[in-house]
Structure 1
C-alpha cells in the first residue's frame, strides 16, 4: 500500500506538470508579444522536464517496464491524476495567466515543502525544480499585477478569469488517503500549512493588482486526483498522444 500510494503521488505531480505543459505548448507562436511567446514556451519546457523526473521515478517504483514515454502516451484520461485546474482551456491571455498564477502559487509552496521530504529522490526532484518554479511564480505574479492594475479592460478580464477559475484552485488542498499517507511518512507537507501560505501569497498579489479575491471557503471542484476529469482532458490527450497511438513504438 505504501509503495502504491507513493506511485500515485508521483503521478499526480507528473500529470499536473505534463498537462499544463501541453496546454502552454499549444500557445507557441500565439503569444501577445514575442517576449511573452518565448516565456510561455520556456515555462512549458520547464514543466516538461519536471514531468520526466516524476514519471521516471514512478515507473521505476511500479516495476512494470513503463518508462516516462509509456506513462505519458499510453494512459487514458481516467488514469491521469492531474487536478482540474490545469486542464481548463487556455482561453484569453487573462485566463491563461490567472490559471498559471494559481498553479504557480501552489506549486511553489509544495516544492518548498518537498525539499524536506524523507524520500531523498523526491527531495532531489524538488531541489532541481525549485529555481524554475520560483521564476514561474515571480513572472505570473508580476503579470497578474500589471494586467489587474492596468486598463479598465484588462482589469475586468483578469477579475472575470479569477472568478471563473477560483473554484478549481482548492483541489490541491483537498487531501485524500494518498496525500495523507505521504504526510504520515514525512514525504509530503500537510495541507493546512500549504493552503495558508498559498492564500497569503495570492491575497498579497491580488491586493497589489486591485483584484478582489473570492472567498477561500467557496465550494471547490474536485475529482481530478481520482481520475474524474472534464471532457477537456480527452481533447488534450488526443492531440498529445496521437503519434504514439497511431504508430505504436515509433522512434525518431
Structure 2
C-alpha cells in the first residue's frame, strides 16, 4: 500500500479543499451558538474536560513550534507551524469555555500563562521533547488519531459550545493525522536508517499509549489506524505496555513540562499587565 492510499483511506468521509482549518478559513465556529450551560450538565466536569483538552493542545502546539527553523525542509516547517496553529486555536476556544463554566470568568491567557506545571492536565506524551523528525511524526500520528476519536464523540456533547469546537476540530485533526501517516510510511519504507528511526519513534510513543487509553476510551480506533499505517510502512505494530508510569490528567508530569512552560510563559509573567 502506498502512502497516497493511506492518505486517501484516512481522509475518507472528510473531503474538503481547505487543508488547514485555522490557516485558511476564518469562520467563527461559535457563531450563533448559545453559551448557556444546558440543564443537567455538571459544570465542574465540563470545565475539567475543557481544561484537559486545552492543555493537551497548548503543550502540543508549543512542541511543534520548536521545529521552526529546524524542520528538514521549508515545506515541512510551514506544515508543522500550521498544525501547531490549529491546536493553538482549539486551546484558545476550550480555555475560554472553561472560564465561562468554572465560575472564575478567567480568560485564555490566565490558563495558558499563569498556572504552574502541577496545575496542568495534559497527557504526558505531549510534553516529551521532540527528539528527531521520526519521533515527532509518530507522536503526531498517535496524538491526532486519539484526539480525533475523542472529538468525534464530542460533536454530540450536551454542551453546544464544546460540540461546536469539536466539529471544527474534527476537520483539522483529520488532516493532522493524514500528514503524520504519510511521513510514517515514507520513513518506514525508506532507507535502512529512516526505517530504524521510524521504528524507534513508534516504540517510544507506544510506551505512552496506556495513559491515552486511560484518559479516553479510544483504544480500538487508535490501534486500528496505527496498524493500518504500520502495515503500509512495512513496520511491525509496536507493543503497548500494560499500565502507566503516571498520569498528566492527575498533574503527574515528566521533568520536561516545567522547562517548556518556563519558555512559553516567560514574557507574560515578566510583564503581566502588558498589552500588545
Indicate whether the TM-score tops 0.5: yes
Q: Mark the runs of 5 or more structure 1 residues left unpaired by the alignment.
A: 176-189
Q: Mark the runs of 5 or more structure 2 residues left unpaired by the alignment.
A: 1-40
> What secondary structure is seen at the aligned counterpart in 1 of 2:207?
helix
The counterpart of 2:200, out of the listed 146, 152, 160, is: 160
TM-score (norm 1): 0.90
The counterpart of 1:43, out of the listed 77, 83, 87, is: 83
Conserved 8 A contact 2:209-2:240: no
Q: Distance in 2 between matches of 1:90 and 1:64?
A: 34
Return the offset for 1:2: 2.7
1:148 paired with 2:148, answer no
| 1:68-147 superposed matches below 5 A | 68-147=108-187
1:2 paired with 2:42, answer yes
Conserved 8 A contact 2:206-2:241: no
| 1:166-177 superposed matches below 5 A | 166-175=206-215
**Residue in 2 aligned with 1:245?**
269
Return the offset for 1:217: 5.0
Tell me which stretches of 4 or more aligned residues in structure 1 moved more than 6 Å. none
Q: Matched residue pairs, number?
A: 236
Q: Distance in 1 between matches of 2:86 and 2:273?
A: 26
| 1:186-201 superposed matches below 5 A | 191=217, 194-201=218-225
The counterpart of 2:73, out of the listed 33, 43, 56, is: 33
Deviation readout 1:109-154 (Å, 9 max, x if unpaired)? 1111111222211110011111111110111111111111111100
> What secondary structure is seen at the aligned counterpart in 1 of 2:157?
coil
**Residue in 1 aligned with 2:228?**
204
**Residue in 2 aligned with 1:183?**
none
**Residue in 1 aligned with 2:31?**
none
> What secondary structure is seen at the aligned counterpart in 2 of 1:75?
coil
**Residue in 1 aligned with 2:63?**
23
| 1:228-239 superposed matches below 5 A | 228-239=252-263
Q: Distance in 2 between matches of 1:154 and 1:220?
A: 29
Conserved 8 A contact 1:7-1:61: yes
Deviation readout 1:76-128 (Å, 9 max, x if unpaired)? 00000000000011111111111111101101111111112222111100111
**Residue in 2 aligned with 1:182?**
none
Q: Distance in 2 between matches of 1:126 and 1:230?
A: 28
Conserved 8 A contact 1:83-1:222: no
Q: Distance in 1 between matches of 2:126 and 2:198?
A: 17
Say which is worse superposed, 84-93 or 110-119, in terms of deviation.
110-119
From the two aligned structures, give the one with the greater helix fraction.
1
